[in-house]
Amino acid sequence: MDTLSAPSLDVPADDCCAAKEVELAALSRRTVQRRVLVAVLLINLAMFVFELTAGVLARSSALIADSVDMFGDASVYGLSLYALDRGLRWRAGAAVVKGGIILAFAVWLAVDIALKVSTATEPSAPAMGVVGAIALAANLVCFGLLWSFREEDINMSSTWECSRNDVLANGGVLVAAAGVWLTSSGWPDLAVAGVIVALFLRSAIRVLRSAVPQLTSSAHSPA
pTM across the whole model: 0.69
List of residues 6+ apart from 143 with CB closer than 8 A: 160, 163, 164, 166, 167
Quickly state the pLDDT bin for 54 (edges 50, 70, 90): confident
pLDDT in tens, 94-107: 778 878 887 887 88
How many CB atoms within 10 Å of residue 127? 18
Where does residue 1 rank: exposed (0-12), middle (13-18), buried (19+ CB within 10 A)? Answer: exposed
Q: Measured at the alpha carbon of residue 125, what is the angle toward residues 124 and 126, in degrees to the nearest 5?
A: 95
CATH architecture of 40-217: Up-down Bundle (1.20)
**What's the rounded Cα separation, in Å, for the pair 36 and 154?**
16
Q: How many residues are given for the chain? A: 223
Q: What is the pLDDT of residue 197?
A: 80
Q: Which region, left, alpha or beta, applies to residue 6 given φ > 0 means left and ψ of -120 to 50 means alpha?
A: beta
Sequence spans of domains, the chain? 40-217
pLDDT in tens, 155-207: 677 778 778 888 887 888 898 899 989 998 888 888 888 887 887 788 788 87
